[in-house]
């Protein structure tokens, strides 16, 4: 009787291992992307709450709230975000560029609404905060 000793793995065994690693990495990438997206939304909410606190100080100094848009709505852009940083935070870079949200403020002299819009092409996420309220997410 002749016995044969194995010197390595067969091609089928290697393909099974590669397939398993591929499935695990695909699951990991999807989970990571969800984590990044969620943390950007949370960072935007925190920034909007900081703006609401700064509005209180601005109101106590000026007798009115800072508004980057007049009327019932505004369109968030890099310009409105920079205006908020200039007026409420003395030019400090408070609204991080890497969260992919631009922010604007609209309302009247007695109240305000802060609106943060996701600027990525595949998202319609809008976060709003009405004076003295909690942030609400729409389309997120």
User: Residue 3: its pLDDT value, please?
Assistant: 66
Instruction: Give 41's contacts (C-beta < 8 A, 6+ positions apart).
Output: 118, 125, 127, 137, 140
pLDDT range class, residue 2, cuts 50, 70, 90: low
For the chain, give the percent of residues with pLDDT over 70: 96
Residue 114 confidence (pLDDT) above 90: yes
Average pLDDT over residues 36-58: 92
Residue 20 confidence (pLDDT) above 70: yes
Does residue 63 contact residue 79 with C-beta atoms inside 8 Å?
Answer: no
Main-chain phi, psi angles of 9, to 5 degrees: -90, 150
Instruction: Give 98's contacts (C-beta < 8 A, 6+ positions apart).
Output: 40
Average pLDDT over residues 105-124: 87
Q: Which residue has the tokens 């400090």?
A: 92
Tell me the C-alpha distance between 103 and 29, whole Å.
29
User: Residue 1: its pLDDT value, please?
Assistant: 61
What are the helix (H) ranges across the chain? 11-62, 78-88
User: Residue 35: its pLDDT value, please?
Assistant: 87
Average pLDDT value over all residues in the chain: 89
Most confident of 2-11, 50-59, 102-111: 50-59
């Amino acid at each position: 009787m002749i016995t044969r000793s194995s010197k390595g793995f067969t091609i089928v065994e290697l393909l099974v291992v590669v397939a398993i690693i591929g499935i695990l990495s695909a699951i990991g990438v999807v989970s990571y992307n969800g984590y990044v997206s969620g943390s950007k939304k949370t960072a935007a909410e925190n920034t909007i709450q900081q703006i609401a606190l700064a509005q209180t100080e601005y109101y106590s100094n000026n007798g009115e709230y800072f508004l980057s848009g007049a009327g019932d709505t505004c369109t968030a852009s890099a310009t409105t975000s920079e205006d908020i940083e200039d007026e409420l935070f003395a030019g400090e870079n408070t609204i991080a560029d890497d969260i992919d949200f631009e922010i604007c403020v609209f309302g009247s002299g007695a109240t305000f609404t802060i609106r943060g819009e996701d600027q990525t092409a595949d998202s319609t996420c809008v976060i709003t905060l009405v004076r003295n309220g909690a942030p609400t997410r729409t389309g997120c």
